[in-house]
Structures are given as structure tokens and as C-alpha cells.
Amino acid sequence: MVLFDLEGRPLITTSDAPFRSPEEIVNQQWFSRAIGGEGNFYFTGPHVQQLSTSAYPWVITYSQQISYATDNGELKQGLLLIDMNFSAVSELCKTAKLGSTGYVYFIDNNGKIVYHPLQQLINSNILNEDLEAVNEHIFGTFINTFEGRERLVIIDTVNNARWRIVGVAFMDELMSGLNQFTTVMMVILLLCIAITIIIARTVSSWISRPIKELEHLMLSVEKRNFAAPPTVSGNQEVAALSQSFAIMVLRIRQLMDDIVKSQELKRKFELDALQAKINPHFLYNTLDSVVWMAEQNDTEGVIRMITALARLFRISISKGHDIITLSEELEHVRNYLIIQQTRYQDKFEYSITIEEDMKDLPTIKLIAQPIVENAIYHGIKYLQEMGHIDISVYRRKPGAVVVEIRDNGVGMNEETLSNILSFSANHPSNGNGIGVRNVHQRVQLYYGSDFGLEISSELDEGTLVRIVIPEGTPIHPIKVVKK
């Protein structure tokens, strides 16, 4: 390592050998390349270094123009030289083995060979190297055929010097043991298969015998023979299964005695579950509206929305009753529309009409609000003009009441309408129509398959939903005590 000034005079050195004259130093390639390129470094490929008259080693040279400070603090320019012994690179490459005849060599950023283990043969034109194919790659691997022999070429690039390290392995050497390896693996595989079949048949026979006995007992129960079946002897798992099966048969006999009652309870539980599925969905959207108003610092709006929300929940809770009057159901929808009008800043108008003598007719609660919610979120929300939601209640002969909800929203195409009209709980959905299906299922579970929802819609024309329920005997409104 030597620091020269720009005239070629050595300032600091790690060598004791005398240097050539400054005129000879500045004319060497590594010196002239670095002059004027402050901040840039240069690698000079393998060459005979001629710094001294006493030694001529093969080296790789790093040179860079730098700035240095003198003892009195003056800043001057100099040139830093670092010589690396090329024999170390040569020995390292020779130890890298890629098969019996594979090798490693270096090329510089100009695509010329820096080091090759067969350098003398290449220089004598006795041996060629496939530099054309290598120069097309910066890094990675590829397979090619050169001079009649298929080769695997591995390339990587040294970041600073932009030299490439090239490894060459011959495919015939790499694949020489493949056939033998394949044969051994096939023998081992066949042996494993044979052993597995023998073990499987033995274990299967041991397990299947008590299972077949249990199967006969199950076939007997299938033929409506519910007498207590005897237990089956065998391994611990089958014996436990047999005992559990006997207990199950006895339990079935008990359940058959009160099947009518349990079916009624199941019907009620399904109604409750479907109703609970709607309530959280509605609560989320309402609270989202309240948060939006609070962020706008609209205190009066927040109070108005919270008040409407409280009225909504008084009707929703209804002292635990599932049946309320039509007037209470419409009051619930009215409070919901008040909230949504505030949230969407009067983006829509609404009207609610019902004949006086129909206000006390009974209905299951929370059937109109999910439909109105869908009308807003999937129809009115995307309108540029004023939206309209019209709700009317009228009689349909014989003995049916219709709650009709009409909007002038964007409507639906035939495919979307067909999917919703299927009313299938297992139908894939992106979220649209969940409330519609729940309302339809609740109405049919409570009133029967003759009632439910009727939907018609056209794109850009709006949507019409009719909720059809039977006309029952008028009831008194539920009085909710304010606390």
C-alpha cells in the first residue's frame, strides 16, 4: 500500500523496496487511470507490477485519487495504491472444485479474462473459452453446449469491481450418478410399498372385525329397532364407540317422545338467531353515523341522532316481545330514516302511509328497516339527484297485508336480482342482500312458505320490495317505560 503525490513521489508506503522514478510511476496504467477521477476507484487486472526494480510480482491493483491533510493542516491531493498478490486469487480458484474437471475463472467489466486456470492454453490459442455466452449474463445460471460438451455455467458479479466470477461444471459429471441413484431409490420405494401393504392389511383386519359387528347393530337401528343394542368387544376405541352408540340409541328413544315440542323450540330459536343477525349490522351503521357527526362537532346533530337511536332500541327491545304493531314497526323505520337523513345531509326524502284501521295489526318486528337500509346503501347512496323512499301499507285479499317499500335508486341488473331472489343462505355473496334474505327467512319461519318477500327492480329505475304477511287480529301497542 502506497500513497503518492500527483507527481508520482511516494509519501507513505508499507514497502521497504526502492521505487522507480516519479516519471516512470506516473506513466503506468493504474496511475494515469486514477488521475482526475477523485472519488472514483479503479481496478487494474492481473499485471506485472513495476514499482520497484528489485521485484516484479503479478498483482491486481486498486488505485484512487484522494485528499489528505499535511502536518500543518493544508489539504492536498494524492493517489492511493493498493497491490493485491495475484497468487492468492489463483490458489483460491484452484481449490474450488466443480466436479472432477470443472473450474472457476474471472472476467473484468470489459468482458476480458482476468484469471483462468488454463490461462496459458488460452493465450496459446490451444483452448477457447465461451466468453460470448457469458457476457450476455450478469448473474445467474444457464446451460449451454460448448465444443461438444454440455455445461452448467454459474455467474456472479463482484459489486465494486464489476468483475464476474464464472463457474463451469460439466453436465455429464453431474449426472453420472443419477441412474444408479434412481435404481436404488426405486428398489427402496418398492420395498417400502410392499411392507406398507402387509402392515396395512394386518392392522385393517384387526380393526375392521369389531367395526363390522358394530355396523350390523347400526343397520338394525336403521330398520327402526331402537332396543338397547349390546356392546361390541374389541379394541378400546371400538368398545368405547359401541358404548356411546348404545347411549345414543337410548337418547333417540327419549327424544322421539317429545319431538313435537323440540321442533317448536327449534323454530323459535331460529327466529331469534335470524333477528340477532340483523341487529348488530344495524347498530354498527347507526353508531358509524353518530361518530361521523361527532367528528363534525355537530352537537345538535349528535343529540338528535342519539335520541332517535334510543327510540329505535325501545322498539327493538319491546320488552322481549317478537310481535309488535304495524305502527310501531313504521315508527322504528321513521327513526332510522331520521338518522340516515342527517348522515347523508338530506340526500333523500321519504314518505310513510298507512290506513288508520291497520295501525294495530300485528307483525314480527324489524322486517322493514333492513329493506330500507338496503335501499339507502345500495340504491340511493349512488344517485346524483334527490332520492325518494316511499313506504305504504295496504291489504291484499284474501287476508294478507303488504308492506311496500319503493325507491328510485340505481336498481339492479337481472343477475343480481336473480341471486337475491334465490333467498339461499348458502348462496355466495359479497355482502349485498344479507338483510333481505334474513327478513324473508324470518317471515317464512313464522308465517309459513305462502308469505315472504317479493322484489322487482330495473337498472336506473329503482327497486320495489313487498313484504307479505298474514292479517292478524289487532293488538295493543307495547308500552315501553322510559327510565
Q: Looking at the structure, tell me whether residues 29 and 164 fall in a common domain.
A: no
Q: Looking at the structure, tell me whether residues 285 and 362 fall in a common domain.
A: yes
Range of the domain at 109: 96-174
Lowest mean per-residue pLDDT among 168-177, 274-283, 337-346, 406-415? 274-283
Q: What is the mean pLDDT of residues 304-313?
A: 79
Domain containing residue 101: CATH number? 3.30.450.20
Is the pLDDT assigned to residue 230 strictly greater than 80? Answer: no
Q: Looking at the structure, tell me whether residues 352 and 463 fall in a common domain.
A: yes
- For 152-172, give the DSSP string: EEEEEE-TTT--EEEEEEEHH
Q: Looking at the structure, tell me whether residues 337 and 372 fall in a common domain.
A: yes
What pLDDT, in 10s, does the model give residues 2-31? 999 888 899 889 888 888 888 888 888 888
Q: Which residue has the higher pLDDT, 355 or 243?
A: 355
Q: Looking at the structure, tell me whether residues 294 and 398 fall in a common domain.
A: yes
pLDDT at 428: 43
| Number of structural domains the chain divides into | 4
pLDDT at 370: 87
Domain containing residue 413: CATH number? 3.30.565.10
Lowest mean per-residue pLDDT among 106-110, 154-158, 462-466? 106-110
Q: Looking at the structure, tell me whether residues 148 and 188 fall in a common domain.
A: no
**Last residue of one domain, picked from the residues 40, 60, 86:** 86
335 and 286 Cβ atoms separated by less than 8 Å: no
pLDDT above 90 as % of the chain:
20
Instruction: Please indicate, yes or no, if residue 477 is contained in any of the structural domains.
Output: no
Q: Looking at the structure, tell me whether residues 219 and 121 fall in a common domain.
A: no
pLDDT above 70 as % of the chain:
86
Output 134-143 pairs: Cβ under 8 A, ≥24 positions apart. Answer: 134/107, 134/164, 134/166, 135/107, 135/111, 138/164, 139/164, 143/171
* Three cell numbers, residue 314: 325501545
Q: Looking at the structure, tell me whether residues 466 and 361 fall in a common domain.
A: yes
- Strands, DSSP E only, in 332-446? 348-354, 362-364, 387-396, 400-407
pLDDT at 210: 76
Domain containing residue 76: CATH number? 3.30.450
Instruction: Please indicate, yes or no, if residue 415 is contained in any of the structural domains.
Output: yes
Q: Looking at the structure, tell me whether residues 432 and 451 fall in a common domain.
A: yes
Is the pLDDT assigned to residue 261 strictly greater than 60? Answer: yes
pLDDT at 117: 80
**Last residue of one domain, picked from the residues 86, 109, 139:** 86
Q: Which residue has the higher pLDDT, 388 or 266?
A: 388
Is the pLDDT assigned to residue 433 strictly greater than 70? Answer: no
Q: Looking at the structure, tell me whether residues 154 and 228 fall in a common domain.
A: no
**Last residue of one domain, picked from the residues 144, 174, 204:** 174
Q: Looking at the structure, tell me whether residues 188 and 329 fall in a common domain.
A: no
pTM of this structure:
0.45
- Which residues touch 329 (CB under 8 Å, ≥6 apart)? 315, 363, 365, 366, 367, 368, 403
Query: Residue 281 — very low, low, confident or very high, per pLDDT cuts 50/70/90?
Result: low
